Structure 1
Amino acid sequence: MDTYLLGIDNGTTVTKAALFNLKGEEVAVGSQEVKTYHPQPGWAEQSMDEIWAATVAAIRECLRKASVDPKAIAGISLSGHGGGVWLLDANGRPVRDAIIWLDGRAKPYLDQWAADGRLAELYDESGWSLFAGIGAPTIFPWLMEHERESLDRARVNLFSKDWTKFCLTGEWNTDQTMASIALMNYATGKYSEKVLDLTGIAPYRHLLPPIVPSWEVAGRVTKKAAEETGLAEGTPVASGAWDGTSSVLGAGCVRVGEAASVIGTAGVHVVISAQPDLDPERNYSLMYHTVPGLYAKNALTMLAAGNLNWFEKEFCLAERQEAERRGVSVYDVINEEVASVPVGAGGVLYLPFLQGERAPFVKAEARGVFFGLGDWHGRPHLLRAIYEGVALSTKDNYVCMQKGQPLQTTYLTGGGSRSAVWCQILADCTGNAMKIPSGVELGARGAAINAGVAVGLFRSHEEAVQQMVQIEREYTPNPAQVARYEQLYALYRECIRAVWPLWERSWEMGVAHWK
């Protein structure tokens, strides 16, 4: 009987379950969309019960498509979006809807801590430039002031994939990648008491879950979960990892000095390091990789391909109609239009900050900007500017993390990596070769690799990558275009500096909330 590994990826917009053989080939994938609710402007919440229901549906679809004996699945692991607050009571029931990483309600605390110097202290202790939705350090203070009863009822605070893991196994724990999102001290490898004291949340330290490494078994599928999902009772479930590091692993990025970028709804940019090197300028963030002994310098942008998703939904009716007429994807039409416009988008520059920004700077007030519009520009120019704006943001984050050290290779994943024209723009803009791994579900593959290591199918992550990851395409930088993008990058940086005070003034005036 063949052996398989199941990776579950709890994304912000879609939950997926993907089954892999030991060559890393995707045997079957099930998916289910999930909703994000916005009770007030700037807030973002998800129903935990809906997340589990979506996961059950995705697993069942995957198993149905695969037509394999569930007992042939040697191990399961998980990947999921980080940050936020996922509170459970003593009975393992959600205390309230999860407050996710996109949430901005805690911004006043960041303003206060910036003014009194605590943000700098928090970075020096945890390696993270905090943003409003980062998790317990920011959201717990808001709950303590506005909704203390939720914290008092809670018995544990988890993260997205750890909620799914609890539903599968009945065990509540997290892993070192999730816990190191602003909560750990790298000298001790434990939760930081200083972070808890600086943020005022020490009275709720008991809500922080035990830490089980990503590549170790953290529980087994219960009888109840087996009945709901169709999985075999007793199947080992590895602890799993944050989706950024899981996708990096699934792409094959496990060596010091390599980089990886996920151009998904959000942008995740990672440089692998052997040491927990903090940024003297306190810009990039640091966390554990989902590989023993390695660290991930990371920069997490609020939106990457999410900028394109917004523009397509609001302004691309003509492209959708053309795609329907030709029987192709709307993104095929968009890619053709982008490729028809030269570098520089005819003078249009785009700042991709529709949800504020958190890397390489933290600015909740930031908003998207089209600069340089003329009445001769059309949608293709704006679409090209969006592709280039995301690429320039990617370069900006690499510059922050490299600190003058050369990078030559980036493993590129996420929805943006499916676009050949976007891959070439990213290669030309950053000066890095873009390697595109085969397959689509890289976060789930990273989870599957952790499951394989956990149950002993692979002796190491490096061995697993050699067997389970193949490079499908590669894009090399065009030197002439690299030089042009260097000029555009300088303009991009200058544009950010120019609109910075205008963002602040608009926020202070409350223009977005005028009735």
Structure 2
Amino acid sequence: MSRHLTLGIDIGTSSVKARILNTATNQVVAAGQQAHPLILSKPGYAEQEGDSYWNAVVSAIRQCLACGDFANDIAGVGISGLVGVALPIDTNGKPIRPGMIWMDARAEEECEDIRRSVGEKAINDNNGNRIACWFVEPKALWMKKHEPELFEKTYKFLSPAGYCTYRLSSAFTINKGDAGLFYPYNYQEGEWNPELAEKIGIPIDKYPKIYNSDDVIGTVTERAAQETGLRKGTVVVAGGTDISSAALGCGVTKAGQAYYSMGTGSNLGIMIPTEDRKDEYRILKWPHVLNGLTMFDAPMAFTGASLNWYRDTFAEHEVLMAKQAGLNVFSLFDKYASASDPGAGGLLYLPYMGNTLSPNWNPSSKGIFFGASIGTTKADWLRALMEGVAFDLFSNIKIALASGAKIDKLTLNGGPTKSSFWNRITADVTGIPLETTNVDEAAPLGDAILAAKGAGIYQSLTEPLSHLVKVTGSIEPDPAVHEMYMDFYTIWERVYQNLKSELDDHHKLLFKYNMGKKS
């Protein structure tokens, strides 16, 4: 049989998505998706089980394979995943404890330890990034301090994609994108810095071997074949980060291009040459799946999650209505929110439901609604949620532009960007044109392209993009509405700055009285 199919799998914070790409017809021919749980045991804690990732990957693969007789025609598999996760694995390849994920904010003391022992500048120079709980080493040091026996048992710290790649191939690996979230990774040299690892306090042998995203790191083992239904011996590539694979999958592959990817959290990604050392650390840098290209990337937490929170907390009636009508509940939210004019009646929302990532990097932050009045409506609340997320995006765009980055337009991807109503808000708040494409889920498509390159089907990663990615629409900002939004944005920004000390004190009280939501 001609092996012309490839399988791409993306592990998101909320679910795993898989796609099978037919490289002969340039069509996605099968899809699978499986949710996996998030553990919120204390204020500031956010964890996920390694085996929850794998079980969801298996389910998503089997859903794809149930769409047709595909297994024998799949030439390669690529996996991407969420970043900033400290997932400790023992010598037998078993997770030692749940992984502390990017949302986890417990390791601020360890961040201070790194600032004292290593220094912010040394991290900046080597890794291109700042010291913050979001990265892996603060979490690993927390484990070393509070769970020393488990730390000693740790053979390798893997990413979610690295762990599931291990489950497929029995190879302990990390791709360059995931490695970029580990401080000893030198982002311009593309390799570990053993001296920096030693200064931080993490033995260098706890880090896996680094591979390019399209490198073949092994093949599907007999055990993995039995679990997933894939053919034993199918090529497995190193994969990428969810964001870098998404950039590839929606055709953002050149310096100067930018995209906005929305899911549970969101990312503003601006492509820069790797040799371009921007001295701006509120926005992150990590490797694209394309060598020589770095993503100047602003991660934002609780963006799509803000609307999920509203749905789960206040929208029981709307969820029931949508189910009875066979609709997506978020389409109802769009309809309700459209009854509110731009500005949401003056209601402002700061989307920091557990912490804030770029640009403020404050693990004490919490969500804030400001400006409610007796006349505030449900429509205003819904619209304010969407506008607040757009304001957070704009706060990062301002910083990126001030650093010298160029953003002519934003290519959109991710579930919430399917809302034309929310896209209109995003365009008007940012003042930047938006572009939509025909790509349903960019990250698993990007992973399938990586797998096809590793399997020898494509000669380059950009080869198939003109056939796979088509522009389907654009949204131009309304200058008058943008001007109005900028007036409110100045207040939105001041609300956060004026409440920073109160947020810190409030966060301490949550720990004192153990008021975190448990799940």
Whether contact under 8 Å (2:72, 2:231) holds in the other structure is: yes
Q: Secondary structure at the match of 1:323?
A: helix
Report the counterpart of residue 384 of structure 1 in structure 2: 383
Distance 1:388 1:252 in 2: 27
How far did 1:377 drift? 0.7
Partner amino acid, structure 1, of 2:189: T
Distance 1:61 1:243 in 2: 20
Whether contact under 8 Å (2:117, 2:199) holds in the other structure is: no
Q: Secondary structure at the match of 2:285?
A: strand
Give deviations 1:47-92, integer Å, cap 9, x for gaps. 2223222211211111011x12312112110110112222222222
Distance 2:426 2:107 in 1: 33
Give deviations 1:154-211, integer Å, cap 9, x for gaps. 222110011111111111101110101143123432113354244222xx21010001
Report the counterpart of residue 92 of structure 1 in structure 2: 93
Report the counterpart of residue 302 of structure 2 in structure 1: 303
Report the counterpart of residue 499 of structure 1 in structure 2: 499
How far did 1:489 drift? 2.3
Whether contact under 8 Å (1:110, 1:119) holds in the other structure is: no
Report the counterpart of residue 229 of structure 1 in structure 2: 228
Q: Secondary structure at the match of 1:122?
A: helix
Structure 2 gap ranges (5+): none
Q: Which sits farther off after the overlay, 344-353 or 67-76?
A: 67-76
Whether contact under 8 Å (2:283, 2:359) holds in the other structure is: yes
Quick one: structure 1 residues 279 and 353, their matched pair in 2 at CA, closer, same or farther if it must change by over 3 Å? farther
Give deviations 1:349-402, integer Å, cap 9, x for gaps. 110100111201210011111110001111110110110111111111122222
Distance 1:54 1:294 in 2: 31
How far did 1:216 drift? 1.5
Report the counterpart of residue 422 of structure 1 in structure 2: 422
Partner amino acid, structure 1, of 2:310: F
Report the counterpart of residue 173 of structure 1 in structure 2: 173
Work out the number of aligned pairs and report it. 511
Report the counterpart of residue 55 of structure 1 in structure 2: 57
How far did 1:269 drift? 1.2
Report the counterpart of residue 119 of structure 2 in structure 1: 118
Instruction: Spell out the pairing of 1:72-221 with structure 2 (5 A cutoff).
Output: 72-113=73-114, 118-135=119-136, 137-183=137-183, 184-201=185-202, 204-221=203-220
How far did 1:255 drift? 1.3
Q: Does 1:365 align with 2:367?
A: no
How far did 1:512 drift? 7.2
Report the counterpart of residue 16 of structure 2 in structure 1: 15
Quick one: structure 1 residues 386 and 378, their matched pair in 2 at CA, closer, same or farther if it must change by over 3 Å? same
Report the counterpart of residue 273 of structure 1 in structure 2: 272
Distance 1:464 1:224 in 2: 32
Q: Secondary structure at the match of 1:374?
A: coil
Distance 1:364 1:309 in 2: 21
Whether contact under 8 Å (1:220, 1:237) holds in the other structure is: yes
Give deviations 1:271-326, integer Å, cap 9, x for gaps. 00013434434211111111121111011112211111101111123422443454
Give deviations 1:405-425, integer Å, cap 9, x for gaps. 441111111111110011111
Identity among equivalent positions (%) equals: 28
Q: Does 1:464 align with 2:464?
A: yes
Q: Secondary structure at the match of 1:265?
A: coil
Quick one: structure 1 residues 303 and 198, their matched pair in 2 at CA, closer, same or farther if it must change by over 3 Å? farther
Quick one: structure 1 residues 493 and 279, their matched pair in 2 at CA, closer, same or farther if it must change by over 3 Å? farther
Q: TM-score normalized by structure 1?
A: 0.94
Whether contact under 8 Å (2:18, 2:61) holds in the other structure is: yes
Partner amino acid, structure 2, of 1:461: L
How far did 1:508 drift? 3.9
How far did 1:131 drift? 2.7
Q: Secondary structure at the match of 1:423?
A: helix
Distance 1:228 1:10 in 2: 18
Distance 1:211 1:120 in 2: 24
Quick one: structure 1 residues 221 and 18, their matched pair in 2 at CA, closer, same or farther if it must change by over 3 Å? same
How far did 1:244 drift? 1.0
Structure 1 gap ranges (5+): none
Q: Does 1:447 align with 2:447?
A: yes
Q: Does 1:434 align with 2:434?
A: yes
Distance 2:85 2:17 in 1: 20
Quick one: structure 1 residues 499 and 468, their matched pair in 2 at CA, closer, same or farther if it must change by over 3 Å? same
Report the counterpart of residue 45 of structure 1 in structure 2: 47
Distance 1:426 1:473 in 2: 15
Q: TM-score normalized by structure 2?
A: 0.93
Distance 2:514 2:50 in 1: 32
Distance 1:426 1:171 in 2: 42
Partner amino acid, structure 2, of 1:219: G
Distance 1:217 1:152 in 2: 30
Q: Secondary structure at the match of 1:461?
A: coil
Distance 1:229 1:117 in 2: 44
Q: Which sits farther off after the overlay, 213-222 or 279-288?
A: 279-288
How far did 1:142 drift? 1.1
